[in-house]
Chains A and B, each alone.
Chain A
Amino acid sequence: MPDSIHLKIKRQNGSRDLPRWEEFKVPYKPNMNVLSVLMEIRKNPVNVNGEKTTPVVWDCSCLEEVCGACTMVINGNVRQACSALIDKLPQPITLQPLSKFPVVRDLKVDRAVLFEHLKKVKAWVNIDGTFDLGPGPRVPERERRWMYEISRCMTCGCCYEACPNFNSRSKFIGPAPLAQVLRFNKHPIGAMTQEERMETIMGEGGITDCGNAQNCIEACPKKIPLTTAIAQLNRDTTIHGIRSWFRK
């Protein structure tokens, strides 16, 4: 067993600041994850050269891989820090913030764009009314299973990070919101407004900006069938496009 854990962390004071690498050695304890190592650094913020430094900033919430807040690039791969177990990682362990979102500080990024995209595609069902609308329609079991698969998305940003077509040059809406379009189009109430969602993803930065690199499904920690959802939406938008074209 190693007596210490060697970390290389990419640090940055803000989105306009230049990043720098800082190394740390943390005493080894069994069953640690990346977050508990970061907590040790917070207790004693001294780098590998013995210099006192600022504690490393990161984001976390649930600590059980369901919220997505602690998503970062660990040893070159995008994943959640809470489920990254030290005993399973080769050292030195490199930690980098997500590269596709603005850095708030160190490993903490601002993923607001993800939520903006969810709003853009109207990833919800309209149930508000001025009177009691009564119980909703029943959902076929097969559809419910599909919706459940997609509903496990925690908007962590792994698919965005791995996608070659989501970057500063393109306006691509990204894989996760596309899957949510399918999820809410499948819902019996959501289906009532499916054409609105479809028109949105047929616009700028929409579904056709997907280049089928299929990195999203590989990177997704929840193994959400993103590529199948995108292919299904390709079929749906093509049919919708042809229909509405001939209706004009």
Chain B
Amino acid sequence: MGLITGNFLERKIHSLTGIIPIGVFLLEHLITNSFALKGPEYYNQKIEAFQQIPFLVPIEILLIAIPLAFHTILGLYYVYLSKNNVLQYKYFRNYMFYLQRITAIITFLFVLYHAYTARIARAAAGIEISYEFMNGILSQPLFFIIYLVGLLAAVFHFSNGIYTFAISWGITLGPRSQKILQNVCTALFFIMSGVGTIELIALAG
């Protein structure tokens, strides 16, 4: 059932925005934050360079905020449309389907909190993003756990999203190709979760 355009187009755009640009933006986060492993000064220096990108605000609005809002609003509606039955039908993919919807809600709440504190409120207060800023948040155990949960939810949603994206766009057709991609996505989930956790520990000091 379509919310905006009948059906097909909005579902396809919803599927695509999950990978490009949102998935790419998630990968960018993991790459940028890996600089924290080389020390606070190196991290600040690299972050500084990112802050110097021309037209940063229009880019953030057009390539991040709008696609993210589109994916989120439609996605939450799609979560509402499903009636989960994992207790009755205990199939692996059914659990993944359920977890995709659970992680959608967790990621939504986390991104809301994260975008507000680390981008909107910070910029409004005129504070530069830096190692010290992130360290101030992540050195508190409660906020470290919130970030860790947000990271794991986002990474799961992304890696499982690649699997369903490949079916929705008719790339993986048969059970064998789907199984192989399943294994690749599982590996991706563990690698990205591991890297992200190490980065959070580095930022927590």
Residues of chain A whose beta carbon lies under 8 Å from any beta carbon of chain B: 76-77, 162, 164-165, 167, 169-172, 202-215, 218-219, 225, 227-228, 230-239, 241
Complex partner residue of A227 from B12, B83, B175, CB under 8 angstroms = B175
Chain B residues near A238 (CB, 8 Å)? Answer: 12, 169-170
Across the interface, B6 reaches (CB within 8 A) one of A162, A203, A207, namely: A203
B170 and A203 contacting across the interface, CB-CB below 8 Å: no
Give the distance in Å from the alpha carbon of A136 to the alpha carbon of B11 in the complex.
38
Inter-chain contact count A-B, CB under 8 Å?
A: 115
Q: Is the CB of A212 within 8 A of B82?
A: no
Apart from A204-B7, A214-B97, 17 more pairs, CB < 8 Å: A164-B94, A165-B81, A167-B82, A170-B82, A172-B1, A204-B2, A206-B8, A208-B8, A209-B1, A211-B82, A212-B163, A213-B91, A213-B97, A218-B94, A231-B170, A236-B170, A238-B12
Interface 1/0s, chain B 160-185, versus A by CB < 8 A? Answer: 00011001111111110010000000
Taking a contact as CB atoms under 8 Å apart, the answer to whether B89 and A235 are in contact is: no
Subset of 25 A-B contacts with CB under 8 Å:
A77-B89, A164-B97, A165-B82, A167-B81, A203-B7, A203-B8, A204-B6, A206-B7, A206-B8, A207-B8, A208-B7, A208-B8, A208-B168, A212-B163, A213-B91, A214-B93, A215-B93, A215-B94, A215-B97, A218-B93, A219-B89, A228-B175, A231-B174, A234-B170, A235-B170
Asked if B167 and A169 sit within 8 Å, CB to CB, the answer is no
Interface residues of B (CB under 8 A from A): 1-2, 6-9, 11-12, 78, 80-85, 88-89, 91, 93-94, 96-98, 163-164, 167-175, 178
Establish whether residues B8 and A241, one from each chain, have CB atoms under 8 Å apart when the complex forms. Answer: yes
Q: Return the chain B residue nearest A239 by Cβ.
A: B170
Interchain nearest-CB distance for B11 vs A (Å): 3
Residues in B neighbouring A225, C-beta threshold 8 A: 174-175
Q: Which B residues touch A232, using CB under 8 A?
A: 170, 173
Contacts of A171 in B (CB 8 A): 1
Q: Which residues of B contact A236 (CB under 8 A)?
A: 170
Q: How far is the CB of B167 from chain A (nearest CB, A)?
A: 5
- The interface residues of chain B lying within 8 Å CB-to-CB of A167 are 81-83
Chain B residue nearest to A170 (CB atoms) is B81
* Residues on B with beta carbons closer than 8 Å to the beta carbon of A210: 168
Q: With A169-B81, A204-B2 as known contacts, state yes or no: A212 contacts B12, CB within 8 Å.
A: no
Looking at the complex, which one of B1, B82, B83, B85 makes contact with A205 (CB distance below 8 Å)? B1
Contacts A76-B88, A212-B167; is A237 near B93 (CB within 8 Å)?
no
CB distance from A198 to the nearest CB of B (A): 10
CB pair A213 B93 closer than 8 Å: yes
Q: Are B175 and A213 in contact (CB under 8 A)?
A: no
Which residue, of B7, B11, B94, has the highest number of chain A Cβ atoms within 10 A? B7
Give which listed residue, B91, B163, B173, contacts A235 with CB less than 8 A: B173
